[in-house]
Structure 1
Amino acid sequence: MRVAVLGGHGKTGHAVCAALADRGADAVPLGRADWPDLPGALAGCAAAYVVAPNLHPDEPAYVEEALAAARDAHVERVVYHSVASPYVPAMPHHLGKARAEDLVRRSGMRWTILQPGAYLQNLDLSGPVRVPYAVTAPFGLLDLADLGAAAATVLLDDGHDGATYELATRTTTVAELAAEAGVDAERVDDPGTHPWLSAMFAYYDRHGLPVGTLPLRALLG
């Protein structure tokens, strides 16, 4: 099967493409250079995995354009890469994904939505871990390899149309991960690099981002 991966050149796209290749599928990574003729780039693909650029200023518009191109190219199935807890008013970029999910559900296509937790690989455990939120906050964290395997499953196997899956490999805290690695963990001040990230860190500080692990275990057998 030929599968397009929109956003296929980032770390998420690489993980999905690698898992598709492991399953014998023909993964087609697409990026900005393909956007001017996206229907043409999608031609011949039976399914598409849609990953928006990180902190995209208008993710619903991006997803709407991707869906329109997929319909024009007669793509049969679309899988949208959303986020765990998309409807959180305190996090603007999560709300953008919630609106994009609505577009996917009303697209008229066969669809599946994945709601991944934060990636384990986002934490550097080679030395002291410093994060701008409470190190004891609860998280459901996802390994990139598991994300790729789950994406390949819902793209290639039957039975996932109309489904929405939260994805986490394990539930833990930054403090616990650091202790396992034998390094220290501490909360530091938010660097204020982007207002959406600052809002996210403030939310994490109060609530973390819990995500269930059962859907991933069920998907991966």
Structure 2
Amino acid sequence: MRVAIPGGHGQTGRAVASALRKRRVEAVPLGRAERACGSFAFHGCSAAYLIAPNMHADEPGYVADVLDDLRACGIEQVVYHSVAAPYTPDMPHHLGKARAEDLLRRCGLAWTILQPGAYVQNLDLTRPVRVPYDVHAVFGFADLDDVAEVAATVLTEPGHTGATYELASRSATVAELAAEAGVTATRVPGPSGQGAWLDAMFAYYDRHGLPVGTRTMQALLGR
């Protein structure tokens, strides 16, 4: 089996590729220029794991283009890397993923959607943690290696076509994770200076966190 990974050169793509290779599946990470090669880039692939660039200005447009390429190349299976709680009007980039999910469901391919929570790896727990939202807000944190293992599972095992899986490895607050690591956690007042979309996301986290259940991840990993 050969799996293309459009958008596969970032941390998620590398982790998914590693998980596939452990199953003796050939993984083909593709950047934007490589994907432009069309059928050459996808040659011999039977499935794709689709990751849009982070905070893409037009994720639905990007996803639509990739789906066109997949159909043109005869690839029949696609797994889309979305986000937990995609339909969240207060977070514009989440809404982009919600619209992209709709494209998946109508694409005519065998599709699966993964909706991971915030990566625990995004927090540097080797030193005091400073974040621009409430450190006591509850999150469903996803471990990147767990997400990659789930991705490899749904790509290589039957029974996942038409499924949408919300994924978290554990439920916790930033303060709890920091305490476990022996460091402090502090909320830094905003705005973050990282752009309107991120400020909107941090404001949402400040009010609501991003809770995600853990049972689906446990069931898919068999533990």
Shorter-chain TM-score range: over 0.9
Give the 3-state SS of the residue equivalent to 2:37 in structure 1. helix
- Contact 1:43/1:74 (8 A) holds in 2: no
Q: Residue 219 of structure 1 aligns with which residue?
A: 220
For residues 62 and 213 of structure 2, the distance between their equivalents in structure 1, rounded to whole angstroms, comes to 28
Note the C-alpha offset of 1:29.
0.6
Q: Residue 54 of structure 1 aligns with which residue?
A: 54
Give the 3-state SS of the residue equivalent to 1:42 in structure 2. coil
Q: Residue 178 of structure 2 aligns with which residue?
A: 178
Q: Residue 201 of structure 2 aligns with which residue?
A: 200
1:1-221 map, 5 Å: 1-190=1-190, 191-221=192-222
For residues 39 and 61 of structure 1, the distance between their equivalents in structure 2, rounded to whole angstroms, comes to 19
Note the C-alpha offset of 1:76.
1.3
For residues 118 and 39 of structure 1, the distance between their equivalents in structure 2, rounded to whole angstroms, comes to 34
Instruction: Indicate the percent of aligned positions where both proteins have the same amino acid.
Output: 65
The TM-score with structure 1 as length reference comes to 0.99
For residues 42 and 215 of structure 1, the distance between their equivalents in structure 2, rounded to whole angstroms, comes to 31
What's the CA shift string for 1:1-49, capped at 9, x where partnerless? 1000111110000000000000110000100221322332112111000
For residues 18 and 152 of structure 2, the distance between their equivalents in structure 1, rounded to whole angstroms, comes to 9
For residues 212 and 3 of structure 1, the distance between their equivalents in structure 2, rounded to whole angstroms, comes to 28
For residues 36 and 78 of structure 1, the distance between their equivalents in structure 2, rounded to whole angstroms, comes to 18
Number of paired residues? 221
Q: What one-letter code is carried by the residue in structure 2 that aligns with 1:192?
A: G
The runs of 5 or more residues in structure 1 that have no matched partner are none
For residues 41 and 153 of structure 1, the distance between their equivalents in structure 2, rounded to whole angstroms, comes to 23
The TM-score with structure 2 as length reference comes to 0.98
Q: Which runs of 4+ in 1 moved over 6 A?
A: none
Q: What one-letter code is carried by the residue in structure 2 that aligns with 1:144?
A: L
Q: What one-letter code is carried by the residue in structure 2 that aligns with 1:28?
A: V
Note the C-alpha offset of 1:148.
0.6
What's the CA shift string for 1:125-155, capped at 9, x where partnerless? 1111100000000000011110110000001
For residues 43 and 194 of structure 1, the distance between their equivalents in structure 2, rounded to whole angstroms, comes to 38
- Contact 2:6/2:35 (8 A) holds in 1: no
For residues 180 and 38 of structure 2, the distance between their equivalents in structure 1, rounded to whole angstroms, comes to 45
For residues 219 and 45 of structure 1, the distance between their equivalents in structure 2, rounded to whole angstroms, comes to 24
Q: What one-letter code is carried by the residue in structure 1 that aligns with 2:196?
A: P
CA RMSD between the two structures: 0.7
Q: What one-letter code is carried by the residue in structure 2 that aligns with 1:133?
A: Y
The runs of 5 or more residues in structure 2 that have no matched partner are none
For residues 54 and 32 of structure 1, the distance between their equivalents in structure 2, rounded to whole angstroms, comes to 13
Note the C-alpha offset of 1:193.
1.1
Note the C-alpha offset of 1:162.
0.1
Note the C-alpha offset of 1:206.
0.2
